[in-house]
Structure formats: structure tokens, C-alpha cells
Amino acid sequence: MSPLNPARVAREFPSRYRLEAARCEGCGVVSFPPRVVCPACRGRKFATASLEPEGKVLTWTVIHVGPSSHKHEVPYALAVVELADGVRITCQIADLDPAQVAPGLPVRLEFRRIQEDGEAGVIAYGHKAVPA
């Protein structure tokens, strides 16, 4: 995993931190993070939609040897979570033994500290999934 890029953190702040997605005004498909062109109908008009934080685990893997920024957290589960809107996001599962993660596990996203970049002093916040 590459070191955290402060410019990228700033650019993605609104959508990532507020779970802001874009709902296509042409076909209704929700994209997260928001896009310029709808992947379904190529439309370019969107309305802002806030994602519901509840979802379920689709698939996951257990990380035993992680990047240095997460070395104190291993082992941990990294999962693809499908939210109620159908949006899929990849995030860490927190507050649960990785061996307990199962397909269909109900989870909810919570705002947590993700990593601290020692060099740049940037603390990145984001969402982790916890058992619902």
C-alpha cells in the first residue's frame, strides 16, 4: 500500500467522510465515490445521495501481514460490504474476531481513525464496518 497522499485525502474528503454518493438522474444508479459519467447509462447529471450505513458482508480476506501503517492491527479482516443502496465498498471489519466474519454478516459503517502517516503527520479517518 502506498503512503498516504495528503492532496488525495483533501480531494476525497467530502464524499469519503460523509458517505456522499451520486445518484444518476437518468437511470437512478448510485455511484460511490461519485463519478463524472454514469457507468450504467453514460449520463452526466447527478443528485447527491447519502448512503445508508447498514449493509452486509459479501466477501472478505484476513490480513496477517499488513502494510506498516496497520502492523499493530493484524490479524484483521478486510471485507467487501454491500450497503442497502447496492453500493459496494471495501473496508476493514472492526470490533470482531476475524474468525467470526461470515458471508451475509450484518454490519454498519462507523467513522474511525484509519491510519497515521508518521512522516507527513497526516491522520486519515474513514469508515470501518462493525457488527450491526
Residues at the contact surface with Zn ion, assessed by CB under 5 A: 24, 26-27, 29, 38, 40-41, 43
Cα–Cα nearest to 19, from 131, 119, 121, 128: 128
**Shortest Cβ 108–Zn ion spacing (Å):** 27
What three-state secondary structure class fits 126? strand
**Shortest Cβ 20–Zn ion spacing (Å):** 17
In this complex, which beta carbon is closest to Zn ion, that of residue 29 or of residue 89?
29
In this complex, which beta carbon is closest to Zn ion, that of residue 85 or of residue 91?
85
**Shortest Cβ 49–Zn ion spacing (Å):** 13
**Shortest Cβ 41–Zn ion spacing (Å):** 3
In this complex, which beta carbon is closest to Zn ion, that of residue 9 or of residue 24?
24
The three grid cell numbers given for residue 102, joined into one nine-digit string: 461470515
Side by side, which strands form the sheet with 20-24?
Answer: 30-31, 20-24, 46-50
Q: How many CB atoms lie within 10 A of CB 94?
A: 16
In this complex, which beta carbon is closest to Zn ion, that of residue 36 or of residue 65?
36
The three grid cell numbers given for residue 18, joined into one nine-digit string: 460523509
Cα–Cα nearest to 70, from 126, 124, 115, 9: 115
